[in-house]
Amino acid sequence: MQRKHILGLSLAVAALASVAAYAQKSILLRDDAIRGVSADLPVTAKQRVLSQRASQLGPQIAAKRAPIAAKLADPIYPVTEDEVYDVDSFGRYVKWLGLTSAFINVQSGCPKPTTPDEYCQELNTTPGAFTSFTFNDAARIKLPKGASNSILCYWFSPVLTVNYSNPTAARVIGRFRYTPTLTIENPVLSDPALIDPTTGAPFGGQLLTSMTSSERFEEALEPGVTLNERTRDSTICMAGFISHKSLILNYGLTPAQADDFFASPTTVRMNVSGSTQYVGNASMVFGLRIVGD
């Protein structure tokens, strides 16, 4: 049985464990230097102007190219972008669109995986050396066509258990960081005329989007000290990891192509990369839920 079925239990246990966290908490920094374009970040004033222009041109562009199966539904309420910005999803019910998870370990002597969602990076045991890890397609959710009207959002819940260790005779800094990203596959992105602005090349059927969920931890370690720390937090949707609006503003699709995107099946793959230093072992559970409108 894949471990995603026991994810709920893991998160509940982690929540109880967090009550007994150390009084001296690690320094937590959000890592904004991450790959891809983050559609989830709030919009800028310039994007608002571009969005208004796209809305004005929308009927003209859509008339030249009919959607595959459906077009963006009309707004439910007479609200404006200046009032709520996200007019497309305003007033719509949240749709639950699936849950997946990945279990990643960094340790010395990696065992053979027992489930498809289990991964391990061999630890570099040289004192002070960095151990880097990258796991692409660590977990995935496959959505049928028309799963959402105009937006896809993530609920990202990491449960982290890190063993910091200083085997040296000097004071050092233990470091642990991770960066999740999402690869989004959709047949609309197979059009060779569509160019990915983040790479300058055709999308080739997919795009990479960053998540506002990267974290970096640092712990001051005295000589010979070993410190165990467990953390549990979550990040949830802001502007969405992809939306009808971001496909137009961030990725250059026409309104009709953005309609086609949401009318087509979509696969979302989670990637996780990071590094450790002065860490004896680390266990990471990454839960990913997708919701739409």
pLDDT of amino acid 24 = 34
Over pLDDT 70: what percentage of the chain? 76
> Angle at which helices 255-263 and 45-62 pack, to 10 degrees?
80
pLDDT of amino acid 68 = 55
237's tokens: 């949707």
Gap between the Cα atoms of 102 and 221, Å rounded: 29
* pLDDT exceeds 60 at position 13: no
The answer to whether the beta carbons of residues 141 and 100 sit under 8 Å apart is: yes
Among 274, 288, 284, 287, smallest CA distance to 35 is for 274
pLDDT average, residue stretch 99-121: 93
Please state which of the ranges 40-44, 224-228, 257-261 shows the lowest mean pLDDT. 40-44
* pLDDT exceeds 90 at position 18: no
Gap between the Cα atoms of 270 and 208, Å rounded: 10
pLDDT of amino acid 37 = 55
116's tokens: 């498809």
Gap between the Cα atoms of 143 and 97, Å rounded: 7
CA distances from 36 to 60, 89, 92, 104, 262 (A): 30, 24, 28, 22, 21
pLDDT average, residue stretch 83-102: 91
How confident is the prediction for the chain on average, in pLDDT? 81
Helix segments in the chain, DSSP class H: 7-17, 45-62, 81-84, 244-249, 255-263
Between strands 27-30 and 215-221, the pairing is: antiparallel
pLDDT average, residue stretch 1-25: 37
The backbone region for 219, taken as left when phi is positive above 0, alpha when psi lies in -120 to 50, beta otherwise, is beta
pLDDT of amino acid 26 = 34
Over pLDDT 90: what percentage of the chain? 62
Among 222, 231, 191, smallest CA distance to 207 is for 191
pLDDT of amino acid 114 = 86
pLDDT of amino acid 47 = 45
pTM above 0.85, yes or no: no
Among 274, 138, 280, smallest CA distance to 217 is for 274
159-185 pLDDT, tens digit per residue, is 999 999 999 999 999 999 999 999 999
21-68 pLDDT, tens digit per residue, is 333 333 333 343 344 555 655 444 444 444 445 444 443 333 344 445
3-class SS of residue 26: coil
pLDDT of amino acid 78 = 84
Please state which of the ranges 34-43, 88-97, 197-206, 218-227 shows the lowest mean pLDDT. 34-43
